[in-house]
């Protein structure tokens, strides 16, 4: 029985499990009320003492010390009412019931508190591991990368999570500053594994592939290897459902010393450039399918598209969790207008202000992971 309640109460339990948990928490109090009803009716000859004594132990299975004490207090109230109404104070049975209730209550509260402390310790350890994993998978980008100043921000939609299905990275290479931003379809550990595979491929290929398209091809191949089973050849099986379920929208950008930014976009939202008081979207002239869906769109050769990126410009790369964030009226977050309203041009402060505006728009409730990278072309 305890394992059942622990499974129901585990973090991330489904909505149905949450309802079952709430109903289970009500059981001890319902039984206490039933005992009170028995004692206040002609059926008071039924012996309810042992039933009430077990209520603190039952409450400790699904509640903490406070809930356990509440159940114990309810059982104690019914026992005192019984003794008063039926003149049972002279007999030994009432004192045996009260003593048993006291012993069970103390043991239940102590056990509940110990379990809660152990679970909190385990949760703290998991959070420390998650923080360390985030430093490996989603490490903050350096403040200065060659000709640009940079900043990054990641917000996980899942409460208590630090890693999700969004990915980003920025590295300085012999070919310029190379950046990737992506969004894995799906949630949970599968999404994290896909993000890690794509990031690992990018970090390796970005330093030795002179063509930006080749870098993206390495990321696509890594994703296919991640989803391919032990008996599946990489690159085969265009109808593999795992590839459809785990596709990744990705954008790779390169900032060379020249005043341009080169982009390869595979199904990802276009970057935005803040230039003066205007915001310009770097829309792709030849849209490409997301990574993992290349075989469903033949005849679309990947190519690099170049856009102006002059000193003073600020380039924002982001995931769809930003532009698809909604308020209570179901209105989408107006990212270009929010960028224009920011009163600073330092990349880190720029992202912090966008973050505040995004949380204000959604009332602090994000329904999807969001990642952003801001790059500012250094005027010097």
Q: Two tokens at 240?
A: 């593999």
Pairwise CA distance, residues 154 & 70, whole Å: 41
- Which 3-state string (H, E, C) describes the chain? CHHHHHHHHCCCCCHHHHHHHHHHHHHHHHHHHHHHHHHCCHHHHCCCHHHHHCHHHHHCCCCCHHHHHHHHHHHHHHHHHHHHHCCCCCCHHHHHHHHHHHHHHHHHHHHHHHHHHHHHHHHHHHHHHHHHHHHHHCCCCCCEECCEEEEEEEECCCCCCCCCCEEEEEEEECCEEEEEEEEECCCHHHHHHHHHHHHHHHHHHHHHCCCHHHHHHHHHHHHHHHHCCCCCCCCCCCCCHHHHHCCEEEEEEEECCCCEEEEEEECCCCCEEEECCEEEECCCCCCECCECCHHHCCCCCCCCEEEECCCCCEEEEECHHHHCCECCCCCECCHHHHHHHCCCCCHHHHHHHHHHHHHHHHCCCCCCCEEEEEEEECCC
Per-residue pLDDT, 209: 93
Per-residue pLDDT, 43: 66
- Cα 126 → chain centroid: 14
Contact 115, 64 (CB under 8 A): no
Per-residue pLDDT, 9: 39
CA dihedral 318, 319, 324, 325 (to 10 degrees): -70
Per-residue pLDDT, 350: 93
Cβ neighbours for 213, distance < 8 A, ≥ 6 positions apart:
264, 302, 303, 304
Ordered by start, the domain boundaries in the chain are: 2-130, 138-377
Contact 348, 142 (CB under 8 A): no
Per-residue pLDDT, 315: 95
Of the candidates 189, 201, 268, 185, the residue with the CA atom closest to the CA atom of residue 234: 201
- Quote the longest CA-to-CA distance of the chain: 97
Contact 72, 101 (CB under 8 A): yes
Per-residue pLDDT, 198: 93
Q: Two tokens at 301?
A: 């050769």
Per-residue pLDDT, 234: 41
Per-residue pLDDT, 243: 44
Mean pLDDT by runs of 10 across the 380 residues of the chain is 38 56 79 75 67 78 80 80 67 72 82 80 75 71 91 75 75 94 82 88 94 94 80 42 67 94 94 91 88 73 88 93 89 92 86 92 84 86
Per-residue pLDDT, 101: 78
Per-residue pLDDT, 135: 66
CATH of 138-377, one of 3.40.50.720, 3.60.40.10, 3.90.550.10, 3.30.70.1150: 3.60.40.10
């Amino acid at each position: 029985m305890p394992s059942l309640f622990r499974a129901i109460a585990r973090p991330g339990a489904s909505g149905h499990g949450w309802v079952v948990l709430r109903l289970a928490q009500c059981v001890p109090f319902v039984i206490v009320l039933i005992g009170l009803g028995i004692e206040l009716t002609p059926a008071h000859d039924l012996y309810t003492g042992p039933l009430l004594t077990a209520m603190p132990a039952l409450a400790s299975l699904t509640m903490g010390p406070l809930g356990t004490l509440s159940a114990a207090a309810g059982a104690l109230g019914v026992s005192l009412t019984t003794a008063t109404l039926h003149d049972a104070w002279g007999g030994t049975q009432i004192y045996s019931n009260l003593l048993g209730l006291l012993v069970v209550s103390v043991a239940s509260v102590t056990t509940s508190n110990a379990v809660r402390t152990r679970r909190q310790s385990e949760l703290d350890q998991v959070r420390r591991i998650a923080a360390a994993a985030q430093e490996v998978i989603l490490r903050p980008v350096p403040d200065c990368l060659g000709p640009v100043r940079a900043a990054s921000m990641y917000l996980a939609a899942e409460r208590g999570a630090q890693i999700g299905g969004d990915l980003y990275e920025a590295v300085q290479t012999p070919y310029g500053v190379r950046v990737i931003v992506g969004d894995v379809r799906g949630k949970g550990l599968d999404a994290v594994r896909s993000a890690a595979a794509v990031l690992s491929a990018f970090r390796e290929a970005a330093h030795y592939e002179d063509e930006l398209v080749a870098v993206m091809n390495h990321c696509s191949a890594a994703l296919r290897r991640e989803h391919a089973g032990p008996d599946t050849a990489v690159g085969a099986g265009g109808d593999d459902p795992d590839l459809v379920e785990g596709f990744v929208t990705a954008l790779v950008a390169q900032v060379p010393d020249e005043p341009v930014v080169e982009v390869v976009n595979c199904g990802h939202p276009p970057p935005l450039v803040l230039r003066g008081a205007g915001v310009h979207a770097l829309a792709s002239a030849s849209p490409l399918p997301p990574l993992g869906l290349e075989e469903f769109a033949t005849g679309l050769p990947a190519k690099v598209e170049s856009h102006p990126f002059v000193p003073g410009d600020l380039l924002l790369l982001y995931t769809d969790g930003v532009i698809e964030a909604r308020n209570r009226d179901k209105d989408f977050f107006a990212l270009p207008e929010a960028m224009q309203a920011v009163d600073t041009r330092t990349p880190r402060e720029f992202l912090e202000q966008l973050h505040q505006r995004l949380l204000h728009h959604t009332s602090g409730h994000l329904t999807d992971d969001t990642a952003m990278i801001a790059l500012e072309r250094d005027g010097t």
